[in-house]
Amino acid sequence: MKAKVFLFFFTLCLFFIGSAESSQFIVKKTLPNCRMEFKNGFVIITDTISGKVISYDFSGIGEQVLNVDGFSDLAFEEPEEHPENRSKFQFSLGLAIILVFGFLINLPFFLSWAKRQKGSDEVLFYNVEGKFTYFSVLVWIDQIESLYKSPLTRERKKIEHYYSISNKANKSLTIFSKKIHDELLIKAFGENMVRTAFNRMKLYSKLVFLLDISILLIILYSTILFISITTSWIAAVFMGTFMGIMIAAPIWLILHLILNHSLKRVAKRAIDNGDGTALRIIMAQFFGAFGGLLWKDLHHIQGKSSWLMARKSRRRRYY
């Protein structure tokens, strides 16, 4: 008798427990032609014919019907590992946009300022005086040697070699003018080319140079911040640098070329009018500040993509 009473109460307890659990877990019956999946805490039932998705959230007791596009944004959103970087990314992106537009707006004012500058004897360090002859090149070398108190023995031997070849070919030394110009212009800035060129710049030129460089850096930084929201910092640095270069390079190169060719065009017009000494100096200073790369100086060879590696160009031009 006791055993029957115990069994009755035990069965009754199981019944109540089952009833309590049934209120928490609602079983949904899938329709024909449907596929059930469990992803990100959702039981997803997809109609294989219409493509409509029904999601059952076990945290509640309701159900939600969504279309495929809308559901992908809600149910499959990648978790944020560093959500605090989202606001930093938004700030850096806004700053990048401001710098790009600021660079373009400032360019006409910078060109107007450059045209009003006065020249100085500094131009003698960056070019030959008068016609491009063997003796004028030697005078240029003398100017550089007197500046740094160091002989350019190797460069003098190269000039003699070029002069000998031009004489044997019965040509003027100008056939090597671009090559000579590039080699001696680099020597005009000494050992620390970038630092020396930057220090010689006036304040406005320095600001434009820094603005040019900052556009590239801020886009790279923004890309790294965006990737770091959902990944670790180490992965974000590697992935962000690679992806950032792909994004930043075209934008930066376009703006950089606009500056380069605009300043060069203004300098050529001034030279044609019998002036342009100050603009020659500014052009040479930018050449040195960019390390002789990615900057097309006044005397560099015209041609496709020659601005990419102007100092290493091999194309000759006869006069």
pLDDT tens column, 115-140: 999 888 888 888 877 788 889 899 99
Work out whether the CA dihedral 117, 119, 124, 129 comes out positive or negative: positive
Q: What is the mean pLDDT of residues 284-301?
A: 78
Torsion of CA 27, 31, 35, 41, to 10 degrees: -30
| Tokens (6 digits) for 83 | 């959500």
Percent of the chain residues past pLDDT 90, beyond the cut = 28
Check if the beta carbon of residue 127 is closer than 8 Å to that of residue 280. yes
Give pTM, 2 decimals.
0.66
Element housing 39 (H / E): strand 34-39
Q: What is the pLDDT of residue 53?
A: 60
Q: What is the pLDDT of residue 292?
A: 82
Q: How far apart are the C-alpha atoms of 29 and 62, rounded to whole Å? A: 14
Q: How far apart are the C-alpha atoms of 192 and 159, rounded to whole Å? A: 23
Check residues 241 and 69 and name the one with the higher pLDDT: 241
Check residues 19 and 79 and name the one with the higher pLDDT: 79
Check residues 284 and 41 and name the one with the higher pLDDT: 284
User: How many other C-beta atoms lie within 10 A of the C-beta of residue 19?
Assistant: 9
Which range, of 48-57, 110-119, 168-177, averages the lowest pLDDT? 48-57
Element housing 53 (H / E): strand 53-57
Reading across the β-sheet that carries 53-57, which strands appear in turn?
Answer: 34-39, 42-47, 53-57, 63-66
Q: How far apart are the C-alpha atoms of 141 and 156, rounded to whole Å? A: 8
Q: How far apart are the C-alpha atoms of 76 and 26, rounded to whole Å? A: 23
| Strand blocks (E) in 221-278 | none
Q: How far apart are the C-alpha atoms of 27 and 50, rounded to whole Å? A: 23
For every residue of 98-126, DSSP letters joined together read: HHHHHHHHHHHHHHHHHHTPPP-GGGGGT
Q: What is the pLDDT of residue 243?
A: 82
The per-residue pLDDT of the chain, averaged, comes to 75
Q: How far apart are the C-alpha atoms of 81 and 234, rounded to whole Å? A: 13
**In 133-232, which ranges are continuous DSSP H helix?**
134-148, 153-168, 177-187, 193-200, 203-228
Q: What is the pLDDT of residue 82?
A: 62
Helix axes 85-115, 203-228, angle to 10 degrees: 160
HSE-CB of 106 using CA atoms within 13 angstroms:
16
Check residues 244 and 13 and name the one with the higher pLDDT: 244
Q: What is the mean pLDDT of residues 159-179?
A: 88
